[in-house]
C-alpha cells in the first residue's frame, strides 16, 4: 500500500512496520521470485552445451591448478587431501562471489522493469542469490564425488550443515542487497568491487588456512565472516567436528544483523530507484 | 459503491532536469551540501521542476476514466505514481485491489524468453499464482492472435506482436484496476477494436479503468468521464465530451502553427451549428452544418480570401480544404476596423471521428497568411456502421444470385 502514514512513529515501531511490510511483500510475490530465478537460470544455460556442468567444471579447473601448486611446487599441509580442501573452499566462495556479481548488476540491467513495472525490488538481488544457490547445489555433487574418491566419510556432524548453509546464505544475501543498491546509485561500485573481491578471496581460507596471516592482519581477518563459514563446511563435512563456536558464532550474529540492516536500508531506498537508475 | 478504487489526493511530484550524480566522486560534495542546508520538500532546488502540482481525483469501482493532455502534461507520471513505481513528493495516492498495468508495450517482457514464458513472468509480476495463469493461458494466446509464435523468443517479435501479447496478458489476468497508457497505437486497426471491446467488457464486469491516450476517439468511445492535464496541473475533470473541447481549446491557444508574421485580422467569435439551427457537438454523418464567424480587420489588407481546412483531430489528417477564391469568389479588400461576417455551409460526409475546422485569411497571390485560427470549430461524428476511414460515401450494396449459363470449358492446351 502506498498510503503514507503521517504522524509520529518511534524508530523501533517504524522498523517493526517496515519488517512486517517486507515480509508481507515477499509472501505476496513469492511466485515472482520463483519465476525470476527460473528465468535467470534458463537464460544462463539456454545457449550453452554443458549447461549445469559449468557449475562443477569451473571450480574443478581451479582446484586442479592450485592442487599442482600446493602439492608439487609449494607443498602445504591442510590436514586433508588438498584437492578436497581447495574444491570445498572454491565452491563455497564462488557461491558468494557469483551471487554478488549477479546481484550487483541486477537492478541496472533490468532498467525497463525497474522504471515501468512495480514489484518489490528485493526480488532482483534475492533471485541472484537463489540462482547462485542452484549452481552451488549442482557443484556440491563434485564435493561428494571427491569425498568418495578420498574415502572421507561424514559423521553425525553433517546434521549441522543446514545451519552453516543458512548463515552463508544470510551473509551473501545481505551483501547482495547492499551491492545492488549501491551500484544503482553509483556505478563505480562495480569496479571497486572487482578489486575488493580478489583481495578478499586471498584473505579468506579458500585455498590455504589463513592462520599464517593472522599475525599481521589479526583483527581484520577475524572480522571476515567468510573464513569461519568456509571452515565450518570443512569441519562438519570432512573433519567430523563442529565449527569453532566463537568465530562461527560471531559470523552468524554478524550475518543476521547485517541482513536486517541491509534489507531495511534497501526497502527504504526502494522508491528512489526508478528515478535514479 | 463503497470506497473509491483509485484515490489521488493533492499529489505533488518533483523531478530533476539533467544528469544526477552517478559517480562516487560526486557523492561527498552532495552529502555535505545536504547536511549543511536541509531543504524542505516544498521548495524547488536548482534544476528541479514540478511534474505534478496539487493534482486530486478519484475513480470509483467500475468506472472508466480517460486522461488526455499534451506531451509532458503529467499523464504517465500519474500512472507511475498509481502503480507505485514512483512515490509522490507530497500528498498521497492509493489503489484498492489488484493492478493490471500496461505503462509501456511489453515493459515486463524479457527478450530472450519465449512468449509463453513471458506470459508467466508477466502474470507473476501482477502477483498471480502459476495455476491461475495456466488456466487463462489459452484465452490470452487466442486473444493476442499470435499462437503460432508463442514459443518463439520475444526478441523476434515485431512491436505490434509485443503490444498484442502485452495487452492480452494485462486484460485477461483479472485485475481490479486496469491502467492503460497509450499502447493501442501500436496494434493494427482490428486489434485496436478488439482491445477497446475487451476494455469495455472489463469495465462492464466491474473493473476500474484508467485510460491514457492521445487517441481522442478511443477515449470518447470508452470513457464517460475524462481528465485534462496540462503542465502538471489538472485543467478539467468531467464529462468526456466537454473534456475534449477543453483540451482542443488549450491546444489551440498554445499552438505554434499559423504562419502569420503579423496578424492582419482577429477572430472575434465563431459558432458551429447544424443547418436547422441546433447548437450541438455530436452529429450523424451527412448532417448539414453551418460555421459562422466574425473577424475584425486590424491592418488594411487587400486581395485576400477566406479559407477553411478540415482535419481529423486524432491524427491531424487533412481531410478537406478550400477557399473563397477556389470556389470562384473575387478577392476582397478591407480597411482596418472593419468587421466581416462569414458563414460557411457544408455537409459532413464524414465517417466517425472527431474533426476540427481551421479558419484562415490568406493572400493567394503572395502566399501569405493574414489569420490562422486553428480549431475555430470542432465536432464529433457518431456512427457505428463503418469499419474504418474518413469519408462516408453512403453506399448501398445489392446482391443477386444467378446460375452460370455457360459451362466452364477447359482451355485447349497449346502445343
Q: What is the ipTM of this complex?
A: 0.73
pLDDT averaged over every residue in chain B:
82
User: Which chain A residues contact residue B20 at CB under 8 A?
Assistant: 276
Is the CB of residue B283 less than 8 Å from the CB of residue B274? Answer: yes
How many pairs of residues across A and B have Cβ atoms under 8 Å apart? 87
| Beta carbons within 10 angstroms of residue B224's beta carbon | 14
Q: Please judge whether B107 and A113 are an interchain contact, meaning their C-beta atoms are less than 8 angstroms apart.
A: yes
Is A9 an 8 Å CB contact of chain B? no
Is B41 an 8 Å CB contact of chain A? no
According to the model, what pLDDT value does residue B306 have? 93
Interface mutation target, options B83, B85, B113, B117, chain A, most CBs of A under 10 Å:
B85
Q: Please judge whether B124 and A276 are an interchain contact, meaning their C-beta atoms are less than 8 angstroms apart.
A: no
Q: Please judge whether A271 and B87 are an interchain contact, meaning their C-beta atoms are less than 8 angstroms apart.
A: yes
- pLDDT above 70 coverage of chain B, percent: 84
- To the nearest whole Å, the CA of B221 is away from the closest chain A CA by 27
State the pTM of this model. Answer: 0.71
Is B127 an 8 Å CB contact of chain A? yes
Q: Please judge whether B107 and A46 are an interchain contact, meaning their C-beta atoms are less than 8 angstroms apart.
A: no
Q: Please judge whether B129 and A2 are an interchain contact, meaning their C-beta atoms are less than 8 angstroms apart.
A: no
According to the model, what pLDDT value does residue A4 have? 42
* pLDDT per residue as tens digits for the range B39-78: 555 566 667 788 888 899 999 988 999 999 888 888 888 8
Is the CB of residue A126 less than 8 Å from the CB of residue A266? Answer: no
Is the CB of residue B260 less than 8 Å from the CB of residue B372? Answer: yes
Residue B359 CA: distances (Å) to CA of A122, B63, B295, B305, B367 = 57, 37, 10, 11, 16
pLDDT-derived band at B304 (thresholds 50, 70, 90) equals very high
Place of cell 556440491: A140
According to the model, what pLDDT value does residue B340 have? 93
In sequence order, which residues have a C-beta less than 8 Å from that of residue B99 and are 6 or more positions away? A118, B82, B83, B126, B175, B176, B177, B178, B179
* H helix runs in B83-152, sequence order: 115-125, 130-144
User: Which chain B residues contact residue A185 at CB under 8 A?
Assistant: 22
Nearest to B108 among A28, A117, A189 (CB): A117
Nearest Cα to Cα of residue B365 among B323, B304, B297, B288: B304
Residues in chain A: 277
According to the model, what pLDDT value does residue B24 have? 61
Chain B, nearest residue to A112 by Cα:
B107
Q: Return the C-alpha cell found at A136.
A: 552451488
Residue B312 CA: distances (Å) to CA of B117, B188, B255, B371 = 41, 18, 16, 21
Rg (chain B; Cα; Å):
27
Is B132 an 8 Å CB contact of chain A? no
Phi, psi of B234 (to 5 degrees): -90, 115
| Beta carbons within 10 angstroms of residue B228's beta carbon | 26
Classified as helix, coil or strand, A239 is: helix
- To the nearest whole Å, the CA of B115 is away from the closest chain A CA by 13
- To the nearest whole Å, the CA of B235 is away from the closest chain A CA by 25
Q: Please judge whether A271 and B117 are an interchain contact, meaning their C-beta atoms are less than 8 angstroms apart.
A: no
Q: Please judge whether A35 and B120 are an interchain contact, meaning their C-beta atoms are less than 8 angstroms apart.
A: yes
pLDDT-derived band at B113 (thresholds 50, 70, 90) equals confident
Is the CB of residue B219 less than 8 Å from the CB of residue B211? Answer: yes
H helix or E strand, kind and range, residue A266: helix A245-269
Torsion of CA A252, A255, A258, A263, to 10 degrees: -130
Residue B140 CA to residue B169 CA, distance in Å, equals 6
Q: Please judge whether B113 and A43 are an interchain contact, meaning their C-beta atoms are less than 8 angstroms apart.
A: yes
According to the model, what pLDDT value does residue A232 have? 94
Q: Please judge whether A31 and B103 are an interchain contact, meaning their C-beta atoms are less than 8 angstroms apart.
A: no
pLDDT-derived band at B26 (thresholds 50, 70, 90) equals low
Q: Please judge whether A2 and B20 are an interchain contact, meaning their C-beta atoms are less than 8 angstroms apart.
A: no
pLDDT-derived band at B243 (thresholds 50, 70, 90) equals confident
According to the model, what pLDDT value does residue B35 have? 57
Classified as helix, coil or strand, B378 is: strand
Low-confidence ranges of chain A (pLDDT < 70): 1-8, 47, 212-219
Query: Does the pLDDT value for residue B184 go beyond 70?
Result: no
Amino acid at each position: 500500500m502506498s498510503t503514507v502514514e503521517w504522524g509520529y512513529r518511534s524508530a523501533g515501531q517504524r522498523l517493526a512496520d517496515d519488517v512486517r511490510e517486507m515480509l508481507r511483500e515477499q509472501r505476496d510475490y513469492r511466485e515472482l521470485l520463483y519465476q525470476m530465478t527460473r528465468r535467470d537460470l534458463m537464460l544462463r544455460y539456454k545457449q550453452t552445451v554443458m549447461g549445469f556442468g559449468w557449475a562443477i567444471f569451473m571450480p574443478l579447473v581451479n582446484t586442479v591448478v592450485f592442487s599442482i601448486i600446493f602439492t608439487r611446487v609449494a607443498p602445504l599441509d591442510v590436514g586433508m587431501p588438498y584437492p578436497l580442501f581447495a574444491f570445498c573452499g572454491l565452491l563455497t566462495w564462488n557461491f558468494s562471489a557469483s551471487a554478488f556479481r549477479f546481484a550487483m548488476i541486477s537492478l541496472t540491467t533490468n532498467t525497463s522493469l525497474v522504471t515501468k513495472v512495480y514489484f518489490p525490488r528485493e526480488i532482483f538481488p534475492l533471485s541472484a542469490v537463489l540462482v547462485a544457490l542452484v549452481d552451488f547445489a549442482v557443484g556440491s555433487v563434485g564435493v561428494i564425488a571427491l569425498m568418495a574418491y578420498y574415502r572421507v566419510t561424514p559423521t553425525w556432524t553433517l546434521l549441522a550443515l543446514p545451519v552453516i548453509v543458512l548463515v552463508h546464505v544470510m551473509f551473501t544475501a545481505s551483501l547482495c542487497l547492499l551491492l545492488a543498491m549501491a551500484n544503482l546509485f553509483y556505478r563505480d561500485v562495480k569496479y571497486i568491487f572487482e578489486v575488493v573481491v580478489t583481495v578478499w578471496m586471498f584473505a579468506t581460507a579458500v585455498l590455504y588456512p589463513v592462520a599464517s596471516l593472522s599475525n599481521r592482519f589479526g583483527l581484520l581477518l577475524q572480522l571476515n565472516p567468510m573464513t569461519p563459514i568456509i571452515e565450518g563446511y570443512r569441519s562438519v563435512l570432512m573433519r567430523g567436528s563442529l565449527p569453532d563456536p566463537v568465530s562461527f558464532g560471531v559470523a552468524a550474529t554478524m550475518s543476521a544483523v547485517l541482513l536486517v540492516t541491509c534489507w531495511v536500508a534497501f526497502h527504504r531506498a526502494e522508491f528512489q530507484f526508478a528515478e535514479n537508475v | 459503491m463503497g470506497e473509491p478504487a483509485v484515490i489521488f489526493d493533492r499529489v505533488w511530484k518533483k523531478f530533476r532536469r539533467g544528469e544526477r550524480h552517478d559517480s562516487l566522486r560526486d557523492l561527498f560534495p552532495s552529502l555535505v551540501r545536504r547536511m549543511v542546508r536541509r531543504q524542505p520538500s516544498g521548495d524547488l532546488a536548482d534544476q528541479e521542476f514540478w511534474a505534478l502540482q496539487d493534482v486530486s481525483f478519484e475513480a470509483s469501482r467500475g468506472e472508466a476514466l480517460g486522461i488526455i493532455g499534451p506531451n509532458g502534461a503529467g499523464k504517465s507520471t500519474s500512472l507511475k505514481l498509481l502503480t507505485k513505481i514512483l512515490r509522490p513528493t507530497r500528498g498521497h495516492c492509493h489503489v484498492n485491489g489488484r493492478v493490471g498495468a500496461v505503462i509501456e508495450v511489453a515493459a515486463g517482457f524479457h527478450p530472450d524468453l519465449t512468449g509463453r514464458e513471458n506470459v508467466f513472468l508477466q502474470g507473476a509480476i501482477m502477483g498471480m499464482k502459476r495455476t491461475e495463469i495456466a488456466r487463462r493461458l489459452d484465452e490470452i494466446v487466442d486473444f493476442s492472435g499470435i499462437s503460432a509464435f508463442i514459443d518463439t523468443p520475444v526478441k523476434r517479435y515485431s512491436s505490434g506482436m509485443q503490444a498484442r501479447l502485452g495487452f492480452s496478458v494485462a486484460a485477461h489476468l483479472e485485475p481490479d484496476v486496469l491502467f492503460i497508457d497509450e499502447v493501442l497505437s501500436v496494434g493494427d486497426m482490428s486489434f485496436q477494436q478488439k482491445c477497446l471491446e475487451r476494455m469495455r467488457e472489463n469495465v462492464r464486469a466491474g473493473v476500474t479503468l484508467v485510460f491514457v491516450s492521445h487517441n481522442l476517439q478511443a477515449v470518447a468511445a470508452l470513457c464517460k468521464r475524462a481528465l485534462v492535464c496540462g503542465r502538471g496541473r489538472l485543467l478539467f475533470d468531467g464529462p468526456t465530451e466537454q473534456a475534449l473541447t477543453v483540451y482542443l481549446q488549450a491546444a489551440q491557444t498554445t499552438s505554434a502553427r499559423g504562419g502569420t508574421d503579423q496578424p492582419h485580422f482577429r477572430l472575434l467569435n465563431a459558432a458551429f451549428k447544424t443547418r436547422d439551427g441546433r447548437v450541438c457537438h455530436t452529429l450523424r454523418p451527412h448532417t448539414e452544418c453551418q460555421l459562422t464567424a466574425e473577424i475584425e480587420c486590424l491592418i488594411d489588407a487587400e486581395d485576400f480570401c477566406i479559407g477553411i481546412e478540415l482535419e481529423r483531430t486524432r491524427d491531424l489528417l487533412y481531410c478537406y480544404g478550400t477557399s473563397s477564391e477556389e470556389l470562384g469568389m473575387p478577392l476582397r479588400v478591407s480597411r482596418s476596423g472593419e468587421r466581416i461576417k462569414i458563414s460557411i455551409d457544408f455537409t459532413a460526409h464524414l465517417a466517425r471521428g472527431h474533426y476540427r475546422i481551421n479558419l484562415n485569411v490568406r493572400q493567394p497571390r503572395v502566399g501569405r497568411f493574414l489569420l490562422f485560427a486553428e480549431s475555430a470549430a470542432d465536432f464529433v461524428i457518431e456512427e457505428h456502421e463503418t469499419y474504418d476511414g474518413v469519408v462516408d460515401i453512403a453506399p448501398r450494396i445489392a446482391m443477386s444470385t444467378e446460375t452460370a449459363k455457360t459451362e466452364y470449358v477447359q482451355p485447349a492446351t497449346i502445343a
